[in-house]
Structure 1
Amino acid sequence: MSYPTLYNTVKNSRFLYGLLKPVANYYASLVGHRQLGLRYDDLMEDEIDTTKEALKRIPSKEQDLRNFRIRSAYQLSLQHHILPKEKWTKPEEDVRYLSPHIDNVVEEEKEREAFDAIKVVRR
């Protein structure tokens, strides 16, 4: 049985979605990752085990693009610059490429824990 989450409640309510979507867009523009050419999933920590496993599952081309975006952002940060406005990551380009893989890894870990907790009863 799954419990209702705030995300699902907002997503299913036209009123709440219409109310909070502009706030979410404004917050995303304040964070500044798009001004450096990064996507949201580029901000995930690489040291977490689930993220490590998810990074192994993305295609090598996407890994190369991710590494390039991160290195470029580091360089811009060191120089105290941001990209020109026409090179910023647009909201429609800021798609989640890593989150589905992370969700799959988490589900597999839950399933593995459930199977490990099974007690075998011999008759």
Structure 2
Amino acid sequence: MSFTSGLALRRAIVARPWLHKMMAPIAEKYNDLAGYRKLGLVRDDLIAEENEIVQEALKRLPPKVAYDRVYRLRRAIQCSLAHTILPKEEHTKPEGDISYLMPYIEEIERERKEKEELDSLTRIR
């Protein structure tokens, strides 16, 4: 699944309250089983950086948030290399697994869509 189709699916689920209510417990259980929280990561740390929209979003992050991201990623890599997980008290709590990158990604997508719409305007005489 491509990055943009994943976002479209997310928006479709969130737009339907009944579907969101049904999928939320499943998504939470999946997040627990995925194991990234045991490495101290948050969901947005898993977004691949190869996409140019994501790269632009990373450039827009405040310095403290960007530093925290790099720290979490390095610590997770270190745990992976050592074949360990963090102590229980250092696991990311579900309430701490907040989205810090998606707002920037969505903002960039809105900007690009608006630019595309403005670039495609034709002048009527």
Q: Aligned-pair distance for 1:27?
A: 0.6
Tell me the residue number matched to 2:43.
Answer: 40
Larger radius of gyration: 1
The residue that corresponds to 1:72 in the other structure is: 75
Distance 1:69 1:80 in 2: 16
Q: CA offset at residue 119 of structure 1?
A: 1.8
C-alpha distance in 1, partners of 2:59/2:103?
Answer: 13
Q: 1:49 aligns with which of 52, 66, 81?
A: 52
How well do the aligned residues superpose, as a CA RMSD in angstroms? Answer: 1.7
Instruction: Give the letter for the 1:119 counterpart.
Output: T
Q: Distance in 1 between matches of 2:53 and 2:20?
A: 31
SS at match of 1:22: helix
Q: Measured at CA, do residues 108 and 31 of structure 1 come closer, stay the same or move farther in structure 2, by a change above 3 Å?
A: same
Determine the structure 2 residue equivalent to 1:5.
Answer: 12
Could you tell me how far 1:16 is from its partner in structure 2? 5.9
Which amino acid letter does the alignment assign opposite residue 14 of structure 2?
Y
Q: Is the 8 A contact 2:40 2:90 kept in 1?
A: yes
Give aligned-pair identity as a percent: 42
Residue by residue over 1:72-113, the C-alpha shift from the partner in whole angstroms, topping out at 9 and shown as x without a partner, is 101100111111111100000000011001000000000111
Q: In structure 2, list runs of 5 or more residues that go unmatched.
A: 1-10
> Partner amino acid for 1:113?
E
1:113 maps to 2:113: no
Q: 1:29 aligns with which of 28, 32, 36?
A: 32
Does the residue aligned with 1:75 lie in a helix, a strand or coil?
helix
CA distance in 1, matches of 2:32, 2:66: 24
CA–CA distance in 1 between the matches of 2:98 and 2:119?
35
Please identify, of 57-66 and 19-28, the stretch whose mean Cα deviation from structure 2 is larger. 19-28
Q: How many residues align?
A: 115
Mapped partners of 2:117, 2:24: distance in 1:
37
Which has a greater percent of helix? 2
TM-score (norm: length of structure 2): 0.85
